[in-house]
A and B are shown apart, each in its own frame.
Chain A
Amino acid sequence: MSEHPGVLERLLSGDVTALARAITWAEAGDARFQRVLSGANERVGKGWRVGVTGPPGAGKSTLVNEMIGAHRAADRTVGVIAVDPSSPFTGGALLGDRIRMDGRSSDGGVFIRSMASRGSRGGIARATVDAVDAMDVFGFQELLVETVGVGQAEYDVVGAADTVLVVLCPGAGDGVQALKAGILEVADVLCVNKADLPGAERLVSDLEEAVELRAVGLRDGWITPVISCSAGKAEGIAEVMSALASHREWLEEGRLREHRSVRRLAQVRRAVAEALDVELWEAAGWRDRASHLLENGKAHYDVVADLINGLRDAVREKTEGSTKER
């Protein structure tokens, strides 16, 4: 199958099926994705990217559903990537975020795509950023990424978003746990959902205190707001939206370009690391070498050192060789 009659043209002309297929290619690591998107690189970056993350069951999907509603009410189009975990045992996945956004997608201004994490451990899938790029090129104005429910360390979404919204709720741990999880470092906006439940006020004040303690001199002057809402009752949504809008304004006043280039760089670094892993482990025979060394009784850290030193020497030889040529 070639990409004719022009998946890119179809994508640019508003054909949802073409967008959906491009994302499938991105997920499969199919080279056709890059061929399609590289023709439209200058179109990437028009939409505004918000990453929605937080522990399992905090209400991310429910809130995303309300955010879609708010954007549509203001006549803005919305593209959503909702990531759920793949089973590490079978590779299968039950993608259940979409059910909370029931009925939204029949509206022509909304595109929702469920995505399985497929072994990525950072809260999003390897193809998530590609998929958001594709929605961006398609022309969606508001780009939302819902991560899998995260614990204390999975924050790859930072590299995929202009604004990171962290959703917490009472009962899923206290403020101290949130701090341990490094949430203040990643959150541009903090949202305590399920404000209708006991413990919400306490969580809000814990978080506010922590933000204050940390605020002085940090994050170039952006002080993370703490907002409470009840997504399930559609309460407090306007406040969440306005906090997100403030962060956007703040970035657009000057830092946006730097902000995005830092994040793009992080994305490239991650992609390189993953590609290298495959390249070395499979193609360059590191798997065989490592298992051979282990069988011969080497300690695991010696095996690691052997492999890394070998690589370093090979790179050094190569660069010295090429400087001599010059």
Chain B
Amino acid sequence: MSERRIRVLIGKPGLDGHDRGAKTVASVLRDHGMEVIYTGLHQTPAMIAEAAAQEDVDVVGLSILSGAHMQLFPKIRDELTSRGKGDVLLVGGGIIPHDDIDALEADGFAKLFGPGTKTTDIANWIEEEMKTRFEKEGDEV
């Protein structure tokens, strides 16, 4: 009867009002069998981290188009860590330049998906990554 499903929170920090991308990703992940919580527009880093903690998600995906990712993403990572969720699989996407991608991936983010990434590739990547994580956890039980 035991069943472990990948739980994902899609967060939309910052001021831009475009969440089509976030919603598209959310529904593609759902179609890949994941349980997806979308928290809506204009979330502060604290709101996103608190929701992630209460929902005990395995994955936090951040979507941003406003260009404020270098300010907001690290803040969200810190807020997650301070709530004991530093081990969550942290990913992001949106309009993010290559240099910033490198910087964030060297700084606690597992993966940044640049513009033009296929949503099914995102889903497959998360699936693979979580499979290894769940297997590792299983060994520890």
Given known pairs A17-B85, A114-B55, the reply for A275 and B39 (CB within 8 Å) is no
Are A105 and B30 closer than 8 Å at their CB atoms? Answer: no
Q: B46 contacts which chain A residues (CB < 8 A)? A: 106
Are A92 and B29 closer than 8 Å at their CB atoms? Answer: yes
Q: Is B31 an interface residue (CB 8 A)?
A: yes
Are A90 and B54 closer than 8 Å at their CB atoms? Answer: no
Q: B55 contacts which chain A residues (CB < 8 A)? A: 20, 98, 113-114
Q: Mark A8-49, 1 if CB is under 8 A from B, else 0.
A: 000000011100110110011110000000000000000000
Q: Is A231 an interface residue (CB 8 A)?
A: no
Q: B78 contacts which chain A residues (CB < 8 A)? A: none
Given known pairs A105-B50, A116-B35, the reply for A90 and B40 (CB within 8 Å) is no
Q: A17 contacts which chain B residues (CB < 8 A)? A: 53, 56, 83-85
Q: Is A247 an interface residue (CB 8 A)?
A: no
Chain B at the A interface: SS class: mixed
How far does the Cβ of A135 sit from chain B's closest Cβ, in whole Å? 11
Q: Is B119 an interface residue (CB 8 A)?
A: no
Q: Mark B24-43, 1 if CB is under 8 A from A, else 0.
A: 00110111111111111000
Q: Mark B59-85, 1 if CB is under 8 A from A, else 0.
A: 000000000000000000000000111
Q: B4 contacts which chain A residues (CB < 8 A)? A: 28
Q: Mark B70-113, 1 if CB is under 8 A from A, else 0.
A: 00000000000001110000000000000000000000000000
Q: B137 contacts which chain A residues (CB < 8 A)? A: 1
Chain A at the B interface: SS class: mixed
Q: Is B132 an interface residue (CB 8 A)?
A: no
Are A99 and B54 closer than 8 Å at their CB atoms? Answer: no
Q: B31 contacts which chain A residues (CB < 8 A)? A: 87, 90, 92
Q: Is A60 an interface residue (CB 8 A)?
A: no
User: What is the bound-complex CA distance between A13 and B58, given in angstroms?
Assistant: 24
Q: B35 contacts which chain A residues (CB < 8 A)? A: 86, 92-93, 95, 114, 116
Q: Which 4 A-B residue pairings sit nearest by Cβ, starting from the closest?
A: A20-B56, A92-B30, A17-B84, A29-B2
Additional A-B contact list (20), CB under 8 Å, known A15-B84, A17-B53, A27-B3: A1-B140, A16-B54, A24-B7, A28-B2, A28-B4, A29-B1, A30-B2, A90-B32, A90-B33, A91-B5, A92-B34, A94-B26, A95-B36, A99-B38, A105-B54, A106-B50, A113-B54, A114-B37, A116-B5, A118-B5
